[in-house]
């Protein structure tokens, strides 16, 4: 999909920093045939870099090898940062238990964050509620990108571990993701202004 990106995707990447969300752990090391080394996860990362993407996502649950391969593929693109997805913001400890993970969401996020750091990833994706603990583990140089950001007074919707823009940044996030809070708002411009006001608030 990434290698055959639409004209719209290419134009977006040319005009602004584009973030590509990929799932390279679904593909074998050498591509589907095992012979084409440029295909598979490494090829997807390189395709994202060629499009001008500034961030690409890999699933930390795929293991160290997959993350390290993504990092290696990104080296040809100095602006491209590899982010490891830890635990999606809709999941709870009960959800983790359902899939056989005997840990709290915080414990699992930190475990995967350490794994991603050792694999050379430039940062991680986690909820605002784990940002502070991750910053302590990963140090000042790592990116921490937080989806699950909700506006002040907004319902948490599908996010099990939300936080406001200001709370996320105060906890150590380097980037916040404002998705449905803006795209589903009756007045998206007003929603963005509310987020900016929250970020600028004191205390």
Tokens of 82: 């590899």
Q: Which residues are paired to 20 by β-bridges?
A: 56
Mean pLDDT of the 132-159 span: 92
Mean pLDDT of the 10-18 span: 46
Q: Longest C-alpha distance within the chain, in Å?
A: 57
Looking at residue 103, the DSSP 8-state letter turns out to be: S
CA 125 → CA 28, 120, 145, distances in Å? 23, 14, 5
As to burial, measured by CB atoms within 10 angstroms (0-12 exposed, 13-18 middle, 19+ buried), residue 106 is: middle
Mean pLDDT of the 177-193 span: 93
Q: What is the pLDDT of residues 146-168, one digit of tens each?
A: 999 999 988 877 889 999 999 99
- Cα 92 to the chain's mean position, in Å? 18
Query: pLDDT at residue 125 above 70?
Result: yes
Confirm or reject CATH 3.20.20.70 for domain 7-147, answering yes or no: yes
- pLDDT-derived band at 41, boundaries 50, 70, 90: low
Query: pLDDT at residue 142 above 70?
Result: yes
Q: Domain coordinates of the chain in residue numbers?
A: 7-147
How high does pLDDT run on average in the chain?
84
pLDDT of residue 157: 72
- pLDDT-derived band at 170, boundaries 50, 70, 90: very high
Query: pLDDT at residue 174 above 70?
Result: yes
Please spell the DSSP secondary structure of 51-71, one letter per residue.
TTEEEEEEEGGG-HHHHHHHH
The C-alpha atoms of residue 5 and residue 48 are separated, in whole angstroms, by 9
């Amino acid at each position: 999909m990434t290698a055959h990106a639409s004209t719209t995707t290419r134009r977006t990447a040319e005009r602004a920093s584009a973030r590509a969300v990929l799932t390279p752990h679904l593909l074998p090391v050498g591509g589907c045939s095992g012979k084409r080394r440029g295909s598979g996860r490494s090829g997807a990362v390189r395709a994202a870099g060629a499009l001008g993407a500034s961030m690409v996502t890999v699933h930390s649950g795929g293991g160290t090898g997959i993350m390290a391969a993504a990092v290696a593929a990104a080296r040809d693109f100095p602006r491209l940062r590899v982010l490891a997805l830890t635990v999606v913001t809709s999941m709870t400890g009960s959800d983790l238990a359902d899939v056989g993970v005997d840990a709290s969401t915080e414990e699992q996020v930190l475990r995967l964050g350490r794994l991603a750091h050792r694999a050379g990833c430039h940062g991680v994706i986690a909820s605002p509620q784990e940002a502070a603990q991750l910053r302590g583990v990963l140090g000042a140089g790592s990116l921490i990108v937080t989806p699950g950001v909700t506006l002040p007074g907004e319902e948490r919707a599908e996010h099990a571990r939300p936080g406001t823009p200001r709370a996320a940044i105060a906890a150590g996030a380097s980037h916040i993701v404002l998705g449905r809070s803006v795209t589903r708002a009756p007045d998206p411009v007003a929603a963005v202004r509310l987020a900016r006001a929250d970020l600028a608030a004191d205390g």
